[in-house]
Amino acid sequence: MTAPARFTLDPAFAVGDVNPRLFGSFVEHLGRCVYTGIYEPDHPSADESGLRTDVLELIRELGVTTIRYPGGNFVSGYKWEDSVGPVDERPRRLDLAWRSTETNRFGLSEYIAFLKKVGPQAEPMMAINLGTRGVAEALELQEYANHPAGTALSDLRVAHGDKDPFGIRLWCLGNEMDGPWQTGHKTADEYGRLAAETARAMRQIDPELELVACGSSSQAMPTFAEWEAKVLAETYDLVDYISLHAYYQPHDGDIDSFLASAVDMESFIENVVATCDHIGARLKSKKKINLSFDEWNVWYTTEWHEIENSAARDWAEAPRLLENNYSVLDAVVFGSLLIALLRHADRVTVACLAQLVNVIAPILTEPGGPAWKQTTFFPFSQASRYGRGQVLDVRVDSPTYETKKFGSVPLLHATAVRDPETGAVTVFAVNRSQTEPLPLEVALNGLELTNVVEHMALADADPEAKNTVDEPERVTPHTVTGTALQDGTLTATLEPLSWNVIRLA
């Protein structure tokens, strides 16, 4: 039997409060995320707006908050004017990012209507094209979307049938502008200057906007850290967030390193925080820049590289792209990434799971057919439901294992969130061992907890088990017995390769 993993919880030692925006997601005009994903007017479940009500129901259950739109790489060629007004008058355009044809049948107004149907927790996060466009177009979009009435563009919105302004508070100043793959790719100096000019102009209309500057597309980028430093030197007093993007997959069959992906994510977060604070100190600013981790997920990128390196794609409408079907193994890594975000809730105050439907997503659909939950649906929905409140400082004493990529890594990855109103605590924990159960002991100091409400786990004898159209409920969380709370100590056993949610009251 593996030696126990241990940690102590005490309300006097907390990381910070969870911002609801940590449970955001992302809808891009990529593949079938929009068309036959959230929007399919001919589907049997479609409402009067063409939205799939079966998908809406799953999105509400998933518990997403902020939803970023319309990209992603797509936004760097996006003309917002194409996406408004009468649908039958909207132009068809080539989308260079994904070598597809964009019909613009689903646009800005439809996005806002979609958010309203998801629920009051669904907040818009609008990305601006700073690849092929600039300050003037950003201001025009802002006026169309947010100004009440009485100007050419706000009156145009009213004429298009949207009397009330959209009230978009959170804006991304471009997307992945450090990436050579990005249409309109820029150097850090070029982008920093453009982002500052755009932010300054947008704040002339509304000083209360929240703005996200583009950080690095990953920690592996050759310009990482230098990019953040140069961009923030231009924008520090004008923006509220800098973005981070990260995707993980196994390489060369190295499952041990894949299971430790959150080591990289936590390093990425901490390095960006250090860079932000260095620039703040250099500028003698008391302001803190927070982090918007607005793209994260497990993503098997092979197909993307095939698209990137091929001129053969025929500009199809809503082709099947990046439709990864996630396994139990993927869900455990995914849950560990969620734990990493929660562990840094003091500075990561926006995060967006990329993406929401079909495209590397927790929800899959078939055109004209069913919608179902992927394995990754469950960790996200559980974290969104039970991960609200104050994150407690968790410092694990755990057995370790060796990885090629990260060296010695703890078998246990964990965090805990306390509800300040009820005093209830939820422990989120991953056992990275592929073969051995992991005993867990948690000392509870200063917490008036008396019972285990439930211990749910996502695990399976087959780590490659997946939910499919033929077996949509092959993998679901199950109840774990034997978890106990006695004399101020929680004891549990975590199954091999498992995501665990332990609720205490």
DSSP secondary structure of 290-314: EEEEEEEEE--THHHHHHHT-S---
- Residues 353 and 397 reside in one and the same domain: no
- According to the model, what pLDDT value does residue 1 have? 72
Helix (H, G, I), strand (E, B) or coil at 147: coil
Active-site entry in 110, 123, 176, 197: 176
For residue 449, the 8-state DSSP code is -
**295 in active site:** yes
192 within 8 A of 86, measured Cβ to Cβ: no
Which of 357, 386, 415 is the last residue before a domain boundary?
Answer: 386
Helices (H), 45-181: 53-62, 108-118, 135-146, 152-159
Tokens representing residue 192 in the block: 């920093």
Helix (H, G, I), strand (E, B) or coil at 455: strand
- Residues 53 and 147 reside in one and the same domain: yes
Which of 358, 386, 414 is the last residue before a domain boundary?
Answer: 386
- According to the model, what pLDDT value does residue 13 have? 97
- Residues 228 and 123 reside in one and the same domain: yes
The helix (H) or strand (E) run that includes residue 368 is none
- According to the model, what pLDDT value does residue 195 have? 98
Active-site entry in 102, 234, 295, 495: 295
- Residues 58 and 73 reside in one and the same domain: yes
- Residues 326 and 454 reside in one and the same domain: no
502 within 8 A of 481, measured Cβ to Cβ: no
- Residues 232 and 266 reside in one and the same domain: yes
- Cα–Cα distance measured from residue 258 to residue 263, given in angstroms and rounded to the nearest whole number: 10
- According to the model, what pLDDT value does residue 247 have? 98
Task: Count the neighbouring beta carbons within 10 Å of the beta carbon of residue 233.
Answer: 15
Which of 352, 386, 420 is the last residue before a domain boundary?
Answer: 386
- According to the model, what pLDDT value does residue 453 have? 98
In the sheet with 489-494, reading across from the earlier edge strand, the strands are 5-9, 438-444, 489-494, 484-486
- Residues 418 and 344 reside in one and the same domain: no
- According to the model, what pLDDT value does residue 312 have? 55
- Cα–Cα distance measured from residue 376 to residue 360, given in angstroms and rounded to the nearest whole number: 10
Dihedral sign of CA atoms 142, 148, 150, 155 in order: positive
- Residues 56 and 182 reside in one and the same domain: yes
Task: Count the neighbouring beta carbons within 10 Å of the beta carbon of residue 99.
Answer: 18
Domain count, the chain: 2
- Residues 272 and 409 reside in one and the same domain: no
Confidence (pTM): 0.97
How many contiguous H segments (helices) and E segments (strands) does the chain have?
A: 11, 25
- Cα–Cα distance measured from residue 416 to residue 391, given in angstroms and rounded to the nearest whole number: 6
443 within 8 A of 9, measured Cβ to Cβ: yes
Whats the size of the chain, residue-wise? 505
165 within 8 A of 156, measured Cβ to Cβ: no
- Residues 267 and 329 reside in one and the same domain: yes
Q: Which residues contact 481 (CB under 8 A, 6 or more apart)?
A: 455
- Residues 25 and 155 reside in one and the same domain: yes
- Cα–Cα distance measured from residue 64 to residue 115, given in angstroms and rounded to the nearest whole number: 10
**176 in active site:** yes
Which residue(s) pair with 466 in the sheet? Answer: 327
- Residues 374 and 404 reside in one and the same domain: no
Residue numbers in the chain where pLDDT is lower than 50:
none
Domain harbouring 151, CATH code: 3.20.20.80
> Whole domain around residue 371: which residue ranges?
19-386
Helix (H, G, I), strand (E, B) or coil at 288: coil
Domain harbouring 417, CATH code: 2.60.40.1180
Amino acid at 348: V
